[in-house]
Amino acid sequence: MQILFLGDVVGRSGRDAVVKHLPKLRAEWALDFVVVNGDNAAGGFGSTPQTCKDFFAAGADVVTGGDHIWDQKEIIPYLAQEKRLLRPQNFPAQAPGTGHGIFATASGKKILVLHLLGQVFHKEHTNCPFATADKILESTRLGAGVAAIIVDFHAEATSEKTAMGKYLDGRVSVVVGSHTHVPTADARILPKGTAYQTDSGMCGDYNSVIGFQPAGPLERFLTKIPKAKMEPAMGEATLCGLLVEIDDATGLAKSCKAVQWPKAI
């Protein structure tokens, strides 16, 4: 089974690239399941119902969010309606939507997707992501009703992401990091069989500052005034993510590789 995870989509450039290239990749790479992180898809901040619909139409099976999940007000009622859109599971239970779900491939295989938000350097004060993962995995295990388990860990600190990979190694198929918009060079299979990458990178214009036109971030760094406007960069986007081959017998990873498409950054 072939699974593709695409990192944070940033602005129109990233959206257009996903919509343009994902249908072709889905066919050429014989993808069984695709997860897209849409945390910066709408003008760089969150997602809207329409951006999610565009991703689903292009071939995404699930769209995940992150710390910007609440930025677009119209997404809140949509979260309650669209089960394929996930907010982090470790938000309070009273928050709209959910952070996990079991989804079926075209061939009928069941995939659990779990979305978590990190705590280190984050201001959201979420529940412990490690304990949250344990709670979900108590009732859903590889080979016991699901063919694969994918974890999108949206976190700032590389140490926290690496710790999550080690913590879940052998219990899930994939632990892939999102949020920092820079792909890390450590895509690998961990000792117990889980595919891992600290950060998948972004789907956006890399001639930028993490997907934004440089002027806004530079003004913030140079003046320390936090109100400088952040505008997504509009050049040609590169899709970055993680491609994983899953062993149908075990649900663990047979191979994985970082993706940069259509050109390396």
Beta carbons of 136 and 244 less than 8 angstroms apart: no
Q: Which residues contact 200 (CB under 8 A, 6 or more apart)?
A: 5, 6, 7, 8, 37, 176, 177, 178, 183, 240, 241, 242, 258
SS3 label, residue 114: strand
CA dihedral 87, 93, 94, 96 (to 10 degrees): 20
Would you name the residues annotated as active-site residues? 68
Report phi then psi at 52, rounded to 5: -65, -45
Give how far the C-alpha of residue 12 lies from the chain's centroid of Cα atoms, to the nearest Å.
17
Q: Which residues contact 90 (CB under 8 A, 6 or more apart)?
A: 99, 116, 117, 126, 127, 128, 129, 132
- Taking the CA atoms of 247, 252, 177 and 115 in sequence, report the sign of the dihedral they define: positive
Both tokens of 136, joined, read 């979900």
SS3 label, residue 230: coil
Query: What single-letter DSSP state applies at residue 185?
Result: S
Beta carbons of 173 and 152 less than 8 angstroms apart: no
Beta carbons of 114 and 140 less than 8 angstroms apart: no
Other beta carbons within 10 angstroms of residue 109's beta carbon come to 17
